Amino acid sequence: MDRIVIQGGKALQGRIPISGAKNAALTLMPCALLTDEPLTLRNLPRLADVDSFGHLLNELGVATSVEGARKGEFGRVMTFRAANIASTVAPYDIVRKMRASILVLGPLLARAGEATVSLPGGCAIGNRPIDLHLKALQALGAEIELAAGYVKATAPPGGLTGGTISFPTVSVGATENALMTAVLAKGTTVIENAAREPEITDLAQCLIAMGAEIEGLRSDTLTVHGKDRLHGATYAVMPDRIETGSYACAAMLTGGSLELVGAREDSMHAILSGLADAGALIEFKPGAIKVTGDGAIKPLSISTAPFPAFPTDMQAQFMAMLSLARGTSLLTETIFENRYMHVPELSRMGADIEVRGRSAVVRGVEGLVGAPVMATDLRASMSLVLAGLAAKGETQVNRIYHLDRGYERLEEKLQAVGAEIERVGGD
Ligand code: UD1
Nearest CA to ligand 1 atom 9: 23
Residues with a CB atom less than 6 Å from ligand 1? 23, 26, 100, 128-133, 169, 171-174, 195, 311-313, 335-336
Average pLDDT rounded to a whole number, residues 217-231: 98
Percent of the chain residues past pLDDT 70, beyond the cut: 96
132, 203 Cβ separation under 8 angstroms:
no
For the stretch 37-54, pLDDT in tens is 999 999 999 999 999 999
pLDDT at 74: 66
- Output the CA 68–ligand 1 centroid distance in Å: 32
Q: What is the rounded CA–CA span in Å between residue 342 and residue 319?
A: 9
Which residue has better confidence, 71 or 395?
395
8, 401 Cβ separation under 8 angstroms:
no
pLDDT at 123: 54
pLDDT at 71: 66
In ligand 1, the atom with minimum distance to the C-alpha of 103 is: 8
Angle among Cα 134, 138, 140 to the nearest 5 degrees reads 125
For the stretch 276-293, pLDDT in tens is 999 999 999 999 999 999
For the stretch 353-408, pLDDT in tens is 999 999 999 999 999 999 999 988 899 999 999 999 999 999 999 988 889 999 99
- Output the CA 424–ligand 1 centroid distance in Å: 33
* Site to substitute for ligand 1 among 128, 138, 220, 313, most atoms within 8 A of C-beta: 128
Nearest CA to ligand 1 atom 20: 130
Phi and psi at 153, nearest 5°, equal -110, 135
Which residue has better confidence, 121 or 331?
331
Q: Is the pTM of this model over 0.95?
A: yes
Q: Looking at the annotation, which residues are catalytic? A: 123
Q: Does the CA dihedral 375-379-383-385 come out positive or negative?
A: positive
Band of the pLDDT at 125, cuts 50, 70, 90? low
Band of the pLDDT at 26, cuts 50, 70, 90? very high
pLDDT at 182 over 90: yes
Q: What is the rounded CA–CA span in Å between residue 42 and residue 78?
A: 7
341, 377 Cβ separation under 8 angstroms:
yes
- Output the CA 369–ligand 1 centroid distance in Å: 34
Q: Torsion angle of alpha carbons 132, 133, 134, 137, nearest 10°?
A: 120
Nearest CA to ligand 1 atom 33: 171
In ligand 1, the atom with minimum distance to the C-alpha of 307 is: 14
